[in-house]
Amino acid sequence: MNKEIELQDLGLKDYKQTWDYQEELFKAIVDTKIKNRREEAGLETKNYFLFVEHPHVYTLGKSGDFSNLLVSEEQLKEKNAVFYKVNRGGDITYHGPGQIVGYPILDLENFFTDIHKYLRFLEEMVILTLADYGLKAERSPGETGVWLDVGTPFARKICAMGVRASRWVTMHGFALNVNANLGYFDLMIPCGIRGKAVTSLNVELGKKTVDEVEVKEKLLKHFSNLFEAEFYNL
């Protein structure tokens, strides 16, 4: 079992280009698994972890409701934003500058074959990272992602998640608001959940900006511990 993960930080990159790149890596892993099954080739499958920041974009999961996008295409253009319907789980999500997006593309057979556990580990990685900043984050029953003040009138989401898995290979992932412009969330019903607010790490800490490089380092540390994995850069 290969527990090494190639880390790639793509910087600011168009959503569709990144999605296509994810599909390319995903397909290569699946193809290797198919070859191993058919030919008993014994080839090692790779794992990847992509960090990226997207220009303003709204994405709708395969089970999502288009009516959760509250503006027209013309209004999106005015906001320099685009829209895509995608093949992950979940409803509507926003990505934009000031948000750390992570796409683990893993062969879970290198780690464990449990999608529920995989999602809980992603949430735990974020919960532990926010704890490093003195914030008590938690899960909200029945609602994937990471929240603050769950069960109160002040509940607010700080990290959205949506994944796809096939043959135990994952893609898509999480989006953590660090220095995000929260005004863009007003153009949708986040994750299709009405009446819940959205927040960002800089807002919670009362800072103009938070060091995103430091946040990434903390996320990787907790991911590595949870998955018992090692990261490397080419």
Q: Could you tell me the two tokens for 218? A: 């903390």
The answer to whether 20 is annotated as binding is: no
* 40-60 core/surface letters (b: 16 or more CB in 10 A; e: else): eeeeebbbbbbbbbbebbbbb
CA distances from 120 to 80, 123, 173 (A): 34, 5, 12
Q: Is 102 annotated as a binding residue?
A: no
Q: Is 89 annotated as a binding residue?
A: yes
Residue 95 in marked binding region:
yes
Residue 151, marked binder: no
The string of DSSP letters for 132-177 reads TTT--EEEETTEEEEEESTTSTT-EEEEEEEEEEETTEEEEEEEEE
Identify the active-site residue in 176, 191, 220, 229: 191
| 131 assigned to a ligand binding site | no
160 has binding-site annotation: yes
How many beta carbons lie within 10 A of that of residue 171, not counting itself? 23
- End-to-end CA gap in the chain: 20
Q: Is 161 annotated as a binding residue?
A: yes
Is 191 a residue of the active site? Answer: yes
175 is in an annotated binding site: yes
- Does the annotation place 5 within a ligand binding site? no
Q: Is 112 annotated as a binding residue?
A: no
32 annotated as ligand-binding: no
Three-state SS for 14-43 is CHHHHHHHHHHHHHHHHHHHHHHHHHCCCC
Helix, coil or strand: residue 104: strand
Q: Which residues are annotated as a binding site?
A: 88-95, 160-162, 173-175
Q: Which residues are annotated as a binding site for substrate?
A: 88-95, 160-162, 173-175
Which residues are the active-site residues? 191
